[in-house]
Each structure stands twice: as structure tokens, then as C-alpha cells.
Amino acid sequence: MRTLRNSLIAVGSLCLIFILLQSASAATTEEVIEKIKKSQAEMQSIEFDLKTVVKSPTLEPESTSHLAEEFVTKGGGAVVHHMYSKGGGKILRSLTVDDGEFVWWELTSPGSRVVSVSKYPSRKVRVSKGRTTWPWSEAVDTINETIREFDLKVTGEDTLDGEQVWVLEGPAKAVPTDDDMGKVRMLVSQNDCMARRVLIYDKDGKERMNTQFTNVKVNQPIDPALFKYTPPEGAKVQDRT
């Protein structure tokens, strides 16, 4: 009887230690958001695949893209922004290239031979308090907009495609203007602090949008050829510089 009691006490002690360790290692909402901000401040490049599924009669039901972005420092300490984005859905497809001097936007429709190309000045890179502010990034914008627009709380941890993620959930901060933004569920990588999946639900809890980020590479070399663009032969270029 004494042996059994001692065994139960030992098992109970191990369970208590495990619970305490789990509680101590669990990150708070404030800690996760701070990690996200720190990761963004140190980010110099990102590349990923994006897939968005929307349940709406007025939007593309599904779209896929490949995106890449980087900052490079040239002579005199000037910071240059490069960006590549190619993708779309069944209605429209687009290619955007920021070569550091100009932004080229190519728009086509499947089945059409008409190619529309617009040329804009390159996006300006802003530097504030020693930190570079990203002028554009689908991954960074998505995670920041989610933090701004929803009252997020860390509700747990999970595994997605073999990667440890934090689970953040919460309702919209403001009363939604439509029924498509009742609450959100966002999965954030514990490795690079970037979103891996963002699910938007309506006020009735039905899924309205599912955005997935895959093949995410942060601060890794990007093929320089992505940031070079030549308008296709016969395309009419609208110069908006």
C-alpha cells in the first residue's frame, strides 16, 4: 500500500512539474506581438507563396501568387527596395516588379492577347529611428492589419505542416461594416514570427476567407532575376512617372 501511495505521489509530482513547465514556457499575447515587431524590424528579405480562398460572390473565389521582397544598401548608404509579385485568379492575372527605380505593373486576362503595362516611380523606403519601414509587403501587411483590426489573444500552440505555431484569435475591434469580419484565427510561426495562415469568419462563425503562406523564406538570398523587367513585345506602356 505504501509503495502504491509513493508511486501515485511521484506521478502526481511529475504531472505538476509538467504543468508548471508548460505554463512557464507559454508565451503571452504581448510577448508574441513584441516578437513579431522585433522580427519585422530585423527583416531584410522575404519570399513566399500565397493562396487565398474567398467565399464571396463579388470577389475571385481563389487566387495564388508568388512574392519576393528585399532591401539592399547601395553606395552612399541608400536603401533600395526590390519587389516581385506574380499571380491572380480566373479573372485577372498580374505581375508587379519594383526594380529599385521603377515599378512595373503588367495586367492580363486569361484568354486575352491584350497586355496592359503601367510604369510608376519606385516605392520610397522610409527609415525611422534606425529601422527600415517596409513600403509594401503582403505578409507583413496581413499580420499588421490583423493585429490592428482584431482584439487578438494567444489561445494556444499548434503544429502546421511540421512547424510550431502560435494560435491567435479574437473578434473585430470595431463593429464590422459587413458580415464578413466577425472574428479571426491567425497561426504565426514560432521560428520567424510570420503568419502561416489567417482565417476570417463572419459574425455567425462561418469561414469567409482563408489565406495561406507557404514556402516562407526570411532573410535568405533571392534570385536577382526576379527584380528585372522588360515589357513584352507589342505591349502599350502607360508611363505614370
- Average pLDDT for consecutive 10-residue bins of the chain (241 residues)? 48 42 64 90 90 82 91 73 89 90 89 85 66 59 86 94 94 71 92 94 90 94 95 89 86
Each residue's pLDDT tens digit, 200-214: 998 888 999 999 999
Burial of 136 (0-12, 13-18, 19+ CB in 10 A): middle
**Residue 113, CA atoms < 13 Å, CB-side half-sphere:** 2
State how far the alpha carbon of 238 is from the alpha carbons of 25, 172, 227, in Å: 55, 40, 20
pLDDT, residue 79, reads 75
Cell of 146: 490583423
Closest by CA to 23, choosing from 15, 13, 12, 33, is 15
**Residue whose C-alpha cell reads 495561406 in the numeric block:** 212
What are the residue ranges spanned by the domains of the chain?
A: 30-237
pLDDT, residue 138, reads 64
State how far the alpha carbon of 175 is from the alpha carbons of 7, 172, 186, 202, 203, in Å: 55, 7, 20, 12, 10
Which pTM value belongs to this model? 0.80
CATH 2.50.20.10 fits 30-237, yes or no: yes
Tell me if 96 sits within 8 A of 105, measured CB to CB. yes
pLDDT, residue 56, reads 76
Cell of 166: 502560435
pLDDT, residue 15, reads 45
Each residue's pLDDT tens digit, 135-145: 556 667 788 88
